[in-house]
Structure 1
Amino acid sequence: MDEMKIFRNMLDKSSRIVFFGGAGVSTESGIPDFRSADGLYNQTYRYPPEVILSHDFFMSHTEEFYEFYRAKMLAADAKPNAAHKKLAELEQIGKLTAVITQNIDGLHQKAGSNHVLELHGSVYRNFCMDCGEKYSIEEVAKVKGVPHCRKCNGIIKPDVVLYGEALNAETIEEAVQKIAEADMLIVGGTSLDVYPAAGLIDYYTGERLVLINQSPTQYDKKADLLIKEKIGTVFSAI
């Protein structure tokens, strides 16, 4: 029995599916990941991306942060791919209970998914650090330099979790609950190297853990099914 047939059989038997995904889910939509050969970590910048995308750098080099952020992180024109669309379909037919994502690109929502837990926030939400006024992605994208609040002139910050910042406790709590209740957990497009997000998998106690990733992960041996293919290719076939 081939991998895709096994995968389809697992899907057929499941009614509380949870999907946990990372940057690899969006690479087929043209958004670069971080750790692959073409990823952001392997490109040359004045500062390493992990430094630029840190809380300390945002506070001390805000203009340089925004220069990188606008050029590499916004991707407002990106379109959902086959994986995003199939996951939305699985939710609509009542089989998938949650998408848990490390991505900040909003593509799951664009595809029609409603129950999306964004561990690292979203580029579509922005706020004034002083008064809390909210701003759209368009307002942040069109300004040159550092965007400032029209009400109080405070600095506007994207609602994304930077290095050195804590994940939202309520989001983590709900993600743990959904995974613990799942009868199938699909993990795709993530290296499973970033904690605490990667540790969420440990809360799954079922027998249908599916890992879809082109490169090896530390959880490969724990998987009930391991598929080393592009995630869009896999979801196009089911």
Structure 2
Amino acid sequence: MPRGPRYRAAVLALVAVLTGAGVSTESGIPDYRGPAGLWRRDPEAEKLVTYSYYMADPEIRRRSWLMRRESPVWSAEPNAAHRALVDFERSGHPLRVITQNVDGLHQVAGLPDRKVLELHGTTRYVACTACGARGPMAAALERVAAGEADPPCLECGGVLKSATVMFGQALDDQVLARAVAITRACEVFLAVGTSLQVQPAASLAEIAARAGARLVIVNAEPTPYDSLADDVVREPIGRALPALLADLRR
């Protein structure tokens, strides 16, 4: 871990953390794009979270709802990485978490909603594709369990989906703008458990580096932005992230 004067000067300045699927794998939530990820094992499964297939095919929607019911998200617990971020935030250090994950575990661990920016939305809510109405995922899954294979929106009868950004959908412009603003304002940018291959989220690493932030990448596999990083860490995230944050608190 770099320990020069510039790094030390960042201790009380804003720390931004971009988290990806690798942060949640230790909680039992699979990495979809990794070497053993779901998409590599079952390419057809990607259709279940692809907007065009989902909207066009009721059978895809039925399978998607079954997948949501059986998701490991509902039994997952925050791990050491999630808890370390909460401890860091509660110690009084300025922190913003920008996450590619949709599992909500940062908030379950105790981070305030205002400190977490969910780039790809959340699986804990549903949204209507017609009128935009939102509601808790738990209520929609109760309807599935009661026999509704493809529960429609209760407000307008439109197609419901998880409140996530599916493949084929664009990120919310306002959410992305906030992520870029946080990235440009931070002194330290940690990219943790992300392959940095999915755009536009991946470009935040370069934005941080070009803006003068200290860039640290924590990921098991090489990323396209490793050459820009001040430090690259290959250790397990549950051990590496708490150590990095502890170093920033000294």
Q: TM-score, normalised by structure 2?
A: 0.84
TM superposition shift of 1:48 = 4.3
Superposed counterparts of 1:157-196, under 5 Å:
157-196=161-200
Report the 3-state secondary structure (helix = DSSP H, G, I; strand = E; otherwise coil) of the residue aligned with 1:197: coil
Superposed CA deviations along residues 87-142 of structure 1, whole A, max 9, x for unmatched, are 12222223233100111000011111121111100011212334443221212223
Query: Is the Cα–Cα contact under 8 Å of residues 206 and 228 in structure 2 kept in the other structure?
Result: no
TM superposition shift of 1:197 = 1.1
Matched with 1:106 is 104
Closer, same or farther in 2 for the Cα pair 1:26/1:119, shift >3 Å?
same
Give the counterpart of 2:222 among 200, 216, 231: 216
Aligned pair count reads 232
TM superposition shift of 1:233 = 1.7
Matched with 1:234 is 240
Superposed counterparts of 1:130-141, under 5 Å:
130-141=130-141
Identity of aligned residues (%): 36
Give the counterpart of 2:159 among 146, 155, 159: 155
Report the 3-state secondary structure (helix = DSSP H, G, I; strand = E; otherwise coil) of the residue aligned with 1:147: coil
TM superposition shift of 1:12 = 8.0
Q: Does 1:58 align with 2:54?
A: yes
CA RMSD of the aligned region, Å?
2.3
Query: Is the Cα–Cα contact under 8 Å of residues 56 and 164 in structure 1 kept in the other structure?
Result: yes
Closer, same or farther in 2 for the Cα pair 1:22/1:107, shift >3 Å?
same
Of Structure 1 and Structure 2, which has the larger fraction of its residues in helix? 2
Query: Is the Cα–Cα contact under 8 Å of residues 53 and 65 in structure 1 kept in the other structure?
Result: no
Query: Is the Cα–Cα contact under 8 Å of residues 207 and 224 in structure 1 kept in the other structure?
Result: no
Report the 3-state secondary structure (helix = DSSP H, G, I; strand = E; otherwise coil) of the residue aligned with 1:75: helix
TM superposition shift of 1:178 = 0.6
Superposed CA deviations along residues 129-187 of structure 1, whole A, max 9, x for unmatched, are 34443221212223142122334433222111011111011111111111101010000
Hey, which bits of structure 1, 4+ residues long, moved more than 6 A?
A: none
Report the 3-state secondary structure (helix = DSSP H, G, I; strand = E; otherwise coil) of the residue aligned with 1:210: strand
